[in-house]
Structure 1
């Protein structure tokens, strides 16, 4: 492809020195005048978000322009719902990334944009409102002549939308995306934003089908159909590639995947192992020969515990940095004194030390700080610099902090340093009953966990 060398990563970081780096130009038909225009493709990464494919079309004959964004990474395990309270004009400038599967709702107007009705795009809160106004304003002259009452109702609604941009009173906008790829900018980053509430939930079967995701039974059914159809071989490798978990003990399995940094093809090693005094886990390690990126991820080999788990560890000396830590993929991580809260998807599941997980947090903020530079406000840039300075003090042992791991699945772990059976003064472990919302995010509210024996006897 023009503009990308074979040895380059597939998804490139944007560069102010060379803004055309990584762009690909192709001729394509204009859907407005049906003449030939130019589409520019850019495969890049949005800091603290994901890999995306940005497409921009321009027609020199009629002047028609269009832009679109598509996901460039794998579908998230869970859907996402983002709720933002807009009570200041600054909130209108928050950057928003919405996909084809994003539904948008403005609570106060009882107005909703259903999924699949608009193409994905990178915009702002104000941009979403402007796009709705533009869409409603189309053909208004014709409506005024043919359906004046309907046209007047639309004009009144457009006026309400325009008033939202003045933010005379707060309003709530909800972004619901079954692919899990939607995003609204956090203006308080790296701290949590009190106006922004993000929750994840488990998709239902219909939503999975819309994304092209099928469970094992459905794949087996498709495999049976494929066996009867000589021309349908697409689903056979998926159904035949499942490994029984009990056969993996002691084995190091290797399977092809893509680098999480540059998306180049590479191999991932996976092994089942037992953590002493804890439980069985699955460790996966990936090394990319193209960009050199290394990553490791840990997933629980067992089920969800009966109760959630909250672990508080005080970091007061170098000895505390050496504690082993298992953070599951569902665990929230926070540092109380720095007022920072990291969601489960930011660092994923990993088995490391206290120092290792703190360093990973620092590196992720430093490497992806582009969102606080260039177009970001000076306040955001200064806030990040000050935060990183305080983080360095923690890593250098110059500041005592409390690290909190809150895991609703109960599958996280922090090593105790007292071997004589006495309680560890710097380690506090609390088990709690999950809330309805936490069970909803884990998909437990609709899961049948009782009565299997009766059903079996009935059969």
Structure 2
């Protein structure tokens, strides 16, 4: 660690800072580097910053004063996510071409209608729009066309025709599909209809294969049997009475911190694992809840009719596989959006408001569109009315894994305003949970 980084950590400021015009410390680092175009010396500017709803990033910009060649790129400086992510978007209008896209260098981009694919690690990470993504792909194909026309005229002619088809996508004369598959989980496609559900965009989180872990540089569990062996004396009864601690990094400033973990039994439900992280450097606190048991045989849908402000004090367990719906607001929060939480109903609504209103980067700057900020602000006011008991709405917790819970204040008697429905999962839900490829019978 450099002396500058040590001073930042000791001062509690962190290495990565949010972009601010009033921050005097937001100055890029300038490094003299070799120009790969003319082989003279140019300069590279590096800026370490954070993007809301994304991760810490490193923005680099190279410029050569001799041949005037320039290049910019974005690299993720955050940790690899627990799951990969696949975005599937049906592009139907010109407005869809303006969606913001964060494409990590580990992401694969496909357009099935053209049988076109940009493999992983063939392009640097970028923050662009769908239109910019397509233009960059076309420019990459055009780069070596002069050489191809000399050496392989037939191949060059076919590529010219394909480039023409690729550029016509920007006019959106016909619908097409854009797929961004990133095993690192660090890519993102904007939902312009937030907080409402985007019918044209499908987001799938999946478990990485061992080959994908190898490509990302994650160590494979070659000694799984040895690593998973239970240490002497660490039986389940001992774990229930202890608070375990392990080292991690602060998700806000990336400074080393510690996470506490404990098994807790929820009355009338099951056992869960509560994890809490406190950062002494920046003061950031976060907590997360994970199920301590197996995935249930059936999914669970919990529907609560809010009739009084006292409902806000009901205990609530939202697992990371649970989605939240408010039909009266046409609102749906997908699984893993706010992670697993053990809180009250009021606490969940406050987290939803903060996520949509306070921490939404797409209501200001270049990403803002007319009317979007007003819609987001109106949504925040409706959430406040729900918490004050002034709106008659239904809260639906839909968890295909069956690991979510909402307190019945009349227990053990039935709650007249609470409905718990068990249902058989669909193939798509089993696919999201990674159960379709899981073999548990006659395993060898």
Q: TM-score, normalised by structure 1?
A: 0.89
Compared with structure 1, are the counterparts of its residues 113 and 242 closer, same or farther at alpha carbon in structure 2 (3 Å cutoff)? farther
- Structure 2 counterpart of 1:41: 46
Q: How many residues align?
A: 436
Compared with structure 1, are the counterparts of its residues 245 and 44 closer, same or farther at alpha carbon in structure 2 (3 Å cutoff)? farther
RMSD: 2.4
- Structure 2 counterpart of 1:229: none
Compared with structure 1, are the counterparts of its residues 315 and 27 closer, same or farther at alpha carbon in structure 2 (3 Å cutoff)? farther
Question: Matches of residues 55-66 of structure 1 in structure 2 within 5 Å?
Answer: 55-66=60-71
Tell me, yes or no, if the aligned pair for 1:12 and 1:22 is still in contact at 8 Å: no
Match for 1:381 among 363, 373, 377? Answer: 373
Could you tell me how far 1:412 is from its partner in structure 2?
0.7
- Structure 2 counterpart of 1:318: 309
More displaced 10-residue stretch of structure 1: 325-334 or 68-77: 68-77
- Structure 1 counterpart of 2:243: 252
Question: Matches of residues 291-370 of structure 1 in structure 2 within 5 Å?
Answer: 291-370=282-361
Is structure 2 residue 148 aligned with structure 1 residue 157?
Answer: no
Compared with structure 1, are the counterparts of its residues 64 and 96 closer, same or farther at alpha carbon in structure 2 (3 Å cutoff)? same
Could you tell me how far 1:95 is from its partner in structure 2?
1.0
Compared with structure 1, are the counterparts of its residues 112 and 251 closer, same or farther at alpha carbon in structure 2 (3 Å cutoff)? same
Compared with structure 1, are the counterparts of its residues 127 and 118 closer, same or farther at alpha carbon in structure 2 (3 Å cutoff)? same
Compared with structure 1, are the counterparts of its residues 16 and 380 closer, same or farther at alpha carbon in structure 2 (3 Å cutoff)? farther
Is structure 2 residue 178 aligned with structure 1 residue 173?
Answer: yes
Tell me, yes or no, if the aligned pair for 2:194 and 2:356 is still in contact at 8 Å: no
Is structure 2 residue 151 aligned with structure 1 residue 146?
Answer: yes
Tell me, yes or no, if the aligned pair for 2:53 and 2:361 is still in contact at 8 Å: no
- Structure 1 counterpart of 2:404: 412
More displaced 10-residue stretch of structure 1: 200-209 or 302-311: 200-209
Could you tell me how far 1:366 is from its partner in structure 2?
3.2
Looking at structure 2, the residues matched to 276 and 98 of structure 1 have their Cα atoms a distance apart, in angstroms, of 44
Looking at structure 2, the residues matched to 352 and 245 of structure 1 have their Cα atoms a distance apart, in angstroms, of 28
Compared with structure 1, are the counterparts of its residues 266 and 170 closer, same or farther at alpha carbon in structure 2 (3 Å cutoff)? same
Could you tell me how far 1:268 is from its partner in structure 2?
1.2
- Structure 1 counterpart of 2:127: 122
Looking at structure 2, the residues matched to 301 and 239 of structure 1 have their Cα atoms a distance apart, in angstroms, of 17
Tell me, yes or no, if the aligned pair for 1:417 and 1:424 is still in contact at 8 Å: yes
Secondary structure of the residue aligned to 1:345 is coil
Secondary structure of the residue aligned to 1:56 is strand
- Structure 1 counterpart of 2:268: 277
Secondary structure of the residue aligned to 1:344 is coil
Could you tell me how far 1:245 is from its partner in structure 2?
6.5
Match for 1:102 among 107, 110, 114? Answer: 107
For residues 232-259 of structure 1, give each alpha carbon's deviation from its aligned partner in whole angstroms, at most 9, with x where no partner exists: xxxxxx8899895724221112222111
Tell me, yes or no, if the aligned pair for 1:202 and 1:440 is still in contact at 8 Å: no
Secondary structure of the residue aligned to 1:91 is helix
Is structure 2 residue 258 aligned with structure 1 residue 267?
Answer: yes
Could you tell me how far 1:449 is from its partner in structure 2?
1.6
Could you tell me how far 1:19 is from its partner in structure 2?
8.7
Secondary structure of the residue aligned to 1:49 is coil
Compared with structure 1, are the counterparts of its residues 33 and 207 closer, same or farther at alpha carbon in structure 2 (3 Å cutoff)? same
For structure 1, the residue ranges without an aligned partner over 5 or more in a row are 224-237
Looking at structure 2, the residues matched to 286 and 12 of structure 1 have their Cα atoms a distance apart, in angstroms, of 20
Tell me, yes or no, if the aligned pair for 1:332 and 1:342 is still in contact at 8 Å: yes
For residues 93-124 of structure 1, give each alpha carbon's deviation from its aligned partner in whole angstroms, at most 9, with x where no partner exists: 11111112111111211111111221211111
Secondary structure of the residue aligned to 1:165 is helix
Tell me, yes or no, if the aligned pair for 2:73 and 2:125 is still in contact at 8 Å: yes
Match for 1:74 among 53, 70, 79? Answer: 79
Question: Matches of residues 75-90 of structure 1 in structure 2 within 5 Å?
Answer: 75-90=80-95
For residues 400-444 of structure 1, give each alpha carbon's deviation from its aligned partner in whole angstroms, at most 9, with x where no partner exists: 22111111111111100113x432121111111111122122221
Looking at structure 2, the residues matched to 29 and 395 of structure 1 have their Cα atoms a distance apart, in angstroms, of 58
